Chains A and B, each alone.
Chain A
């Protein structure tokens, strides 16, 4: 589904990614771990096509198409979803309104036609119920005045609504207490399916305990330096990132 070949990327002309290779198949869950500044978030932003994250070498294909040729919104419509580490506030725009605009843009792209207001309302209420999210959430402005935990749950709700093929989660677990973490993990597990793949970027193992990824990769200085299964995450938890040969540098999260 996703094939990253020798990916190099810079931010403000500073090299952050220095040759990432990663293959993700449908149904798989990959975790990318690594110290601060190793390029985890950069990887997520490059996949989503954020302005200012410049790819200067390498190739990314998504379902056989060149992902780097697509505008950010086209990537989303093609099935890529990014869960943000810091979800953004949009004052005056309700969650409901934003979700409807988003879902309909994606549906139009798929040739499914727009959902009308009533069908949409039914769908969004059902998804909120499934994820144990209060309906009031839907009528609040996007992330405005949300607590850290609420923002992350909102990301999970959006993910559930947009039904992506590939989900990239950028430190979705940061700043969550144990209850919120469980809600987020349950939401992710509920969406696991043989057709869907996940790339979960995280600093800590605790989310992975709930999710049990198929693969764990360790990122350091913009390269994947080690890959394994969940036991690699256990090793990191016990020994920290220090035992990996390269020391952490830079400030990128």
Chain B
């Protein structure tokens, strides 16, 4: 099979009687939209080498890290913002963004939760993430990142007993420099893309996870990202390393206050799985999506990539994307090790004026590698949702297999769903399957369920949850419940 590029596009059409109730789209309440009133220690807007040095200095970073950032910055300066995604927005003025903001109370680096500003703890509590360990569900350790700094990391002690390192990446750079030097930028290189280069220059915090050989991480790890300050970008960096025969499940959640201006979030996540290791990475992304008129909201430009570096390793991405004004995100797997497995399960919901261009890349390098992509796009209101995926079978990927399924569900008649699958095959023994479908929540489905006594809102949520079932079953239990609830809220008011 030769290189093949497929692209199709489906835009929903009017059905005669049906939809007068359905396309009455009202913005849903965005519960995490509050602002925490804390004094910030922020850098003034603008970006140059001095700003990069200043961020590095604020983090007490060693010289090699400062140099690494500067190198990234110089590469970024020569790059252009990509324009191939099916999203539109006015050009971002990168000189008008503040690249560092931290609550003043964090300056003295509180040593325990008791020293953390109660206002910050209250913020996470309001978001349903209590940080006091006794209030937490046992079994989930949390790193809470507020604007540019990590506020608290729970269960560190218990994890350390198992040999697991789970800490803010700023701390890892100081305390575990050899691991960071070895792995940082090894999956997403400095010059990989415009936003990852920017992130490499200015990233402020994020999580670092190291699971040593043979260890099964005793609890779920999670990071909760919160953008609070206005006019500030968040650039977090996450690095997860799973040594031979280790196993870890990691969850990520995100919210931001409702603000009229757009805010930039450009994260980089790197995963490395060595021989027989498994990393499961789940995201529930609920950044502020903007209001019902398309004002405000987060620009979410994220580079997430995992490398199955070892044989028989496995990396699985599961994401539920309901927020952000713009989502530009393609969690990917580089399947280097023989027999390694890559998976991508995604639900992306867009409502009102949201735009999402999301999908996955599966790069098959090793023999007998296999990958699965299940993508579910749900569009309501005037939103646009695109699936963009690349499946690449390299020369030595003998007997590699990929299965891709992308399904779109349209609610109402003013939204659009688009599919852009790219397939490149250089190894004739490999197999690539692609299935795609587009459907609409039909008036007939709604009426049928209503006729069974179920309210219109519940009927929509039943239909949507049914549509997403294959993805939800991949999420850890507590997250699956949260995701279902979130989906309900995101689509609230999208049916009469």
Contacts and interface: CB of A to CB of B under 8 A. Distances in A.
B451 A82 contact: yes
Interface in A9-41: 11-12
Given A12-B17, A88-B448, A73 B462 contact: no
A65 B449 CA distance: 23
A141 interface: yes
A11 B16 CA distance: 11
A84 B444 CA distance: 11
A90 interface: yes
B29 interface: no
A162 interface: yes
B326 to A, nearest CB: 28
Interface in B455-496: 455-456, 458, 462-463, 465-470
Contacts of A11: 17
A92 B468 contact: yes
Contacts of A91: 466-467
A230 interface: no
Contacts of A51: 17-18, 20-21, 443, 447
A206 interface: no
A162 B453 CA distance: 9
A121 interface: no
B450 interface: yes
A249 to B, nearest CB: 20
B18 A105 contact: no
Given A51-B443, A52-B18, A101-B462, A90 B450 contact: no
B453 A52 contact: no
B447 A93 contact: no
A235 interface: no
B442 A141 contact: no
Contacts of A82: 451
Interface in A45-60: 48, 50-52
Interface residues of B, number: 28
Interface in B1-60: 16-18, 20-21
Contact of A77 (B20, B453, B456, B470): B453
Interface string A57-92: 000000000000001110011000110100111111
A208 interface: no
Contacts of B18: 51-52
B463 A90 contact: yes
Contacts of A12: 16-17
Given A50-B447, A88-B442, A92-B465, A73 B21 contact: no
A12 B450 CA distance: 22
A81 B442 CA distance: 20
Contacts of A162: 452-453
B458 A141 contact: no
Contacts of A207: none
Contact of B453 (A87, A90, A93, A106): A106
A91 B87 CA distance: 30
A176 interface: no
Nearest to A78: B453
A250 to B, nearest CB: 16
B447 A98 contact: no
Contacts, number: 85
B444 A105 contact: no
B445 interface: yes
A92 B453 contact: no
B92 interface: no
Contact of A48 (B451, B456, B462, B468): B451
Contacts of A226: none
A92 B469 contact: yes
A109 B448 contact: no
A42 interface: no
Nearest to A54: B17
Contacts of B456: 71, 73
Interface in A178-202: none
Interface in A107-146: 109, 141
Given A73-B456, A141-B466, A90 B449 contact: yes
B454 interface: yes
A51, A97, A105: most-surrounded residue (chain B CB, <10 A): A51
B486 to A, nearest CB: 17
A98 B449 contact: yes
Given A88-B445, A90-B463, A98 B17 contact: no
Given A51-B21, A52-B17, A87-B448, A98 B453 contact: no
B467 A76 contact: no
Contacts of B463: 90, 93
B96 to A, nearest CB: 45
Nearest to B458: A101
A43 interface: no
B452 A102 contact: yes
Contacts of A220: none
A101 B18 CA distance: 24
A105 B451 contact: no
Contacts of B468: 92
A92 B464 CA distance: 9
B447, B462, B467: most-surrounded residue (chain A CB, <10 A): B447
A102 B453 contact: yes
B462 A93 contact: yes
A14 to B, nearest CB: 11
A90 B466 contact: yes
A196 B160 CA distance: 67
Interface in B192-218: none
A97 B454 CA distance: 12
Interface in A213-243: none
Interface of A: 11-12, 48, 50-52, 71-73, 76-77, 81-82, 84, 87-93, 97-99, 101-103, 105-106, 109, 141, 158, 162
15 contacts: A51-B21, A51-B443, A72-B451, A76-B452, A77-B453, A88-B445, A88-B448, A92-B465, A92-B469, A93-B465, A93-B466, A97-B462, A98-B449, A98-B462, A158-B452
Interface of B: 16-18, 20-21, 442-445, 447-456, 458, 462-463, 465-470
Given A93-B463, A102-B454, A162-B453, 20 more contacts: A51-B18, A72-B451, A73-B451, A73-B456, A84-B448, A87-B448, A88-B442, A89-B445, A90-B449, A90-B463, A90-B466, A92-B465, A92-B467, A92-B470, A93-B462, A101-B462, A102-B453, A105-B458, A141-B466, A162-B452
